[in-house]
Structure formats: structure tokens, C-alpha cells
Chains A and B, each alone.
Chain A
């Protein structure tokens, strides 16, 4: 019988299952995990924000009795159900991957971060129950009860995200446990869940959810608008989704700044990677673009002192460089630098588009008229999606080479099993065909005349 004490002597904090040793397929495991998230996250945005939009429309219908609101709400709730079904299955893949790809991460720290997922499981459960009652209950249960059944779906979208983000925040800012002789001890699960990274990550992701879903839905109606379909049905669909997205966009800049300052404070090396800053500098410059090669950022356009202003609101503030940690502890700079800049660039662009829209409403009480504005809205959906993925690559690849920052390396967390590349290719083919099928279905659904449902 294996004496668990024996495992404890193994290399520090991999006391769970012992060090997996060299894993040739580590990159495959990381890419597979990244791909799995990139298929889940766009659905998460719809899971977070779409129920609130549908409920808003149903509320308008209940108050005014205007059938256009109801037709839109019913159509959107059908899309919501399909998004939710695919969100469920892609989320399940993520849960499996905690055991299939990162058994030692879960075996060592499962008791520390697991509580977040236990609570998340309940919010998913209630979300699944009430979304079924809501979508299948249209015109079958009393209108008041039907509207009330929509509210838990909105609430669980928030609590579900809160718990999951709490876990990701903990990975970036590990607390609530101690490590003695390679074993995790003195576990404080509530403290681990409500860590200091939860706040900004949750708000930033939550606002991103409204941005992505809002602009994608608005893009569908903007394209119809460009094609001349401007009846009341399309106008209401456009105004509701676009207004919500445009209110969220400027907020995202403020929250992004808050996120950047938290990272500057807690994960200086990650911020250095954002900016490709090799050495610690006072009044560091902000470089747009550029490729990071052996210690220097080439070909970028640099604006003096701006990085110090961004990092701690002081033009002469000191910003730590990558050289504060040994080479093997530094994250891959180029993907992080590129994705951070893409996210910020798109974020600023979306905020500008939103400002134009809100000003036109405020000053002229009407929708903008120029075709270029609507082409901008059509582009805004996919761009918000790119910013979303870029945001997560910033957070996760920026955290490398650690899976639990400064505590456990990704290479210690990975499974010792082989043949991971087969799994990776298989899942890639599966997800690609799933994406095509869902896109084909949603495209056809949007073509059906609204009266059909």
C-alpha cells in the first residue's frame, strides 16, 4: 500500500501526484487547453449578458403590449437556448480537462480552489433549469411567472462567472494555503476564492460579456439596416443591443486601467511582458507594436513616459522590467505583448464608436445616418470577440510559466500520459465542425421571417 508520506518528499508543491517528469506533449496540452477555452468563452459572453437583454425586451412587451418586443424576445431566447446548449458541452470539456490534462494541478490544489467550482456547479444547475422553463414555457405558463423565471437565469450568469473567475484570480494571485514539505496545508478555501484578483477580473470579464454579445447582435441588425431592412422589428433589435454595448464600451476602458494597475502591483513581470520592457526603468515609454527579440523591443513606435503613467499614474514612476526574474521564469513576451496591445487598441476603438453613437442620440435624438457608422457596428462584433480572446491570452499566457503563480509550474501540473497530440487534433476537428454547424444554424435562423416562430 503506497504510504502517502513517501509522496510528500517529492519536489516542492507537487505533493499531489508527484512530479510528472519531462512531458514531450506539454505544448499540445497547453494548446488544447487554450483552444478549449477559446470555444467556451464566446458562449460565456452570451451566457452572461444575453438573458438580461431578452428579459429587458420581455419587460417592455409586458408593459407596452407592443408585439414587436415579444417577437424579438422569443427569437432571441431561441438563440439563447442554442448558445446555452453549446456552452454546457464546451464547459463540460473544460471540467474534464482539469483531470485529463492537469491532474497534478487538481490533485495538489483541488482542495484549495475546488470550492469555487462547487458553488459554480449550483449556479449552472439553476441556470439550466430556469432557461429550460423560460424557453419552453413561452405562451404555456402565465406571463408573470414566465418573466420571473427569466430572473434566475440573469443572476446565475453573474454568480457562475464570479466563482469561475475567482478560481482564475486565485491562479494569478494564490492565497488561502501554505506549503510544507511539498504538501498543501492550512487550507482556507473561502480566502482562496475571494482573492484580490477576483474583483477586477470579474468586472472586466462581465463588461466584456456585454460588449461581445451586444456588438455581435447589433452587427446582425446593422447588416440588415445596410440592406435597407429598417422596419420597426429591426430598428428595436438594433437599438436595444447597440445601446447596451455602447454603454459598456467606455466602462471597459476604466476597468481595463484598474486591471492594468493591479497587475502592475501584483504581477510586475506580467506587466513587463505586456510592454516588452526588458529592464526596470523610471518614466518608462509605451511602445505600440514591435517585436521582442533577445531583450529588446524592435520596430515599435514609442511614446515617452506613457507606460509609467498607465502603470501607476506617475510619469516618473518606476516600472519593473522582465530582468527582475530569471529567464526561465519569464512568460513568452511576444504573444502577451501582441494580445495586450490588440485588446487595448480594439477597446479604445469600440469606446470611440460608442461615444459617436451616444453623442448622436444625446444631441440629435436619432440614430446616426452615415453608412460608415453601420459598417463600423458590423465590424465591432468580431473585433470585440478578438479583444476578448486577446484579453484571456494576456491573462493566461502572461501567467506562464506558472499555472499557480510563483508556486507551481505548468510543466509540473501536466499529465504524464502520452498521445496528447491525438486528443488535441481530435478535439480541434470536433470543435471546428461544431463551430461550422452552429454558425450555419444561426445564419439560417436569422433568415427565417420573424413571424415564423
Chain B
């Protein structure tokens, strides 16, 4: 049962990495869109496509946190207390990004929109970095069992942590560009389709290089993690991720954005699932195995029952939301962000 709970957590983490990761990536493109006038079109599309879904996408994180502290309480307490610096940073980033995005929608002058936009975009880049660094810290075995027993700084600033942090930002940007290209195509805006396609291709190459560099760093800094990634289930996932990444590149090149979404999703899923295989049987490498960390059977059963009940209601609701969104039924009229403020 502990494995099933871990599976749920990883599924939630993958969904968060994909959906909210793309929202964070949209913030990256907002940051790098250039001046008010030139960047207005890109920012208009970011606002339009993120609006209806960013809150639902965000709740996957709550789902992961809750299953984590219910099914593996000791591991949760140990990880959160040791990695409190990056996780506090991610928490602040989540508050700033959410609030700035909601408030920018109501901005009355270009100055306000630009100020709130900067807060939204900057926190959209820092949050995935901090989360990635924290996950990297866990994977690198920097988190001991206990109340804040690990070093508050070196636990998330090792080469592996920093690399996973940057990889998280790059993956978000890559996914976001793929999604935004599809949204622009649906909205019939060829110039934006080309703009996001170029960004998606660029981000795909950068993400691929970072992943390769990552493997090199892991092989030197965390040998047993590297062994896990290059044998058995871990290896299969790495290969699936690589192939999916390449296939997505081809789909992007030929402009098939709807399919590219699923290619990108498979590439990300390969990484998260591969990490679990590489790290098994440990939840906190070298410290705590899955069975030691698992809560009692009564709790695990109750959790699985409640998740099953919840999914019965949640999945149709998610299907309704995404079908409305993908059919454009919830789309606001598209306008560049700075349009409202033009004289």
C-alpha cells in the first residue's frame, strides 16, 4: 500500500510539474517578452491561456503535500524542516505569483501592469527553481531523518540541487511554449504561433542539454542515484523520456502542437517516475526506506479510499474544465496586454 501512496504522490507531482510547471513557464516568457509594446502580444496570450486554469493546476501541489504528510509523516517532517530555506522561498513565490497575476488583470495603468507583471514573472521563475533545488536536495541524500538535522544551506545548493532547479525552470518554459503555441493556433494568430514555436524549440534544446549535464553531475556526485538511473526501471524511464523529447521536437518542427503536448508530458513523466525507480527502496536516500517511512495500514487504507472517492468526482470535473478550455469555450477575446492602455 505504501507503494500505491508513493505512486499517487508521484502522479500528483508529475501533474503539478506539467500543468503548474507550464504556468510558471508562461511567467518566464512574460519576463523575457521585451518592452511593453513589443511584449504586449505575448503577454496577452499568457494572461488569456493561464486565467481559467492556474488555480486548478496549483491544487495538485496541495494534493502532493497532503498525501506526503499523511502517508509518510516522518519523511515529511524531516524533509520540510531541513529544506526550510528553499521551501520558504517557493512558498513566498507562490503567494507573489498568484496575487500578482490576479491583480494585474485589474491594473488600470501601464505602470501598474508593468510593476505587477514584473512581480508575477520573477516569482514564476524563482518558485520552480526553489522547488527543483529542494527536490534535488532529497535526491542527493542531503536530508537526514530528524527535526531540521540537515544543513539549511548546503542541503539545496549542491551541484545536483542547483541543476535540478534550473532544469525545473527550463522544463516549465519548454512545456509552456508548446501549450501556448497550441493556444495561439486555436486563436488564429499565426505570428504568435511562430513566436512560441521558436521559443519551444529553443527551450527543448536547452532542456535536453541540461538533462544530459545533469546525468554527468549525478554520476560524479551521487553514484548510487546514477546506478539507479542507468539500470532496470530507471533506465527504461530515462530512455522513454529521451525518445519522447526527441519526438516532441519533431512534432514541434512540423507544427503538430496538439500532439506535441502529449510528447512533452511523456518526457516529463519519464523524469519523475525514473527518479522513483533510481532512488528505490529509499524515500530519503541512505536514511529512510519506503516501508520504514510509511504510516500504519489503517491510515494508508483510509487515504487510498478517500483518494479513490475523490477521484470519482475530480476526474469528470477536470475533464469538463479542460474540454471547455481546449474547445475555447472559456476564452476571453484575445488582446495584447498593453492594448487597454494605448491612447
Contacts and interface: CB of A to CB of B under 8 A. Distances in A.
| A is bound by B | yes
Interface of A: 1-2, 4, 7, 16-18, 20, 81-82, 84-86, 88-93, 95-96, 98-100, 103-104, 106-112, 114-115, 117-122, 124-126, 128-133, 136-137, 140-141, 152, 185-190, 415-417, 419, 423, 426-427, 430, 434, 437-438, 441, 444-445
What range describes how many residues of B lie at the interface? 35 or more
Contacts of A136: 51-52, 330, 332
A18 B307 CA distance: 30
A16 B77 CA distance: 8
A125 B145 CA distance: 31
Interface string B65-92: 1110111011011111100100110111
Contacts of A119: 306, 310
Which 5 A-B pairs rank lowest in CB-CB distance, beginning with the nearest? A99-B80, A114-B70, A107-B77, A110-B73, A122-B310
A362 B148 CA distance: 62
Given A189-B299, A441-B106, A89 B66 contact: no
A131 B66 contact: no
Contacts of A108: 73, 77
A111 B106 contact: no
Given A88-B98, A107-B147, A115-B299, 15 more contacts: A16-B77, A85-B98, A95-B62, A103-B77, A106-B80, A112-B299, A114-B69, A126-B317, A132-B51, A133-B330, A185-B296, A187-B299, A415-B84, A434-B99, A444-B108
A16 B73 contact: yes
Contact of B103 (A110, A187, A190, A437): A437
A417 B108 CA distance: 43
10 contacts: A18-B146, A89-B99, A92-B95, A118-B307, A124-B59, A132-B56, A132-B321, A188-B298, A430-B96, A441-B106
A438 B99 contact: yes
Contacts of A99: 65, 69, 76-77, 79-81, 87
B69 A115 contact: no
Nearest to A111: B295
Contacts of B94: 89, 92-93
A85 B94 CA distance: 11
Interface string B274-315: 000000000000111000100110110011001101100110
A107 B73 contact: yes
Contacts of B303: 114-115, 118, 189
A182 to B, nearest CB: 13
Contacts of B114: none
Interface in B145-189: 145-149, 152
B212 interface: no
A416 B81 contact: yes
Nearest to A98: B69
B73 A417 contact: no
Nearest to A82: B102
Given A89-B99, A92-B61, A189-B302, A128 B55 contact: yes
A103 B52 contact: no
B342 interface: no
Nearest to A442: B106
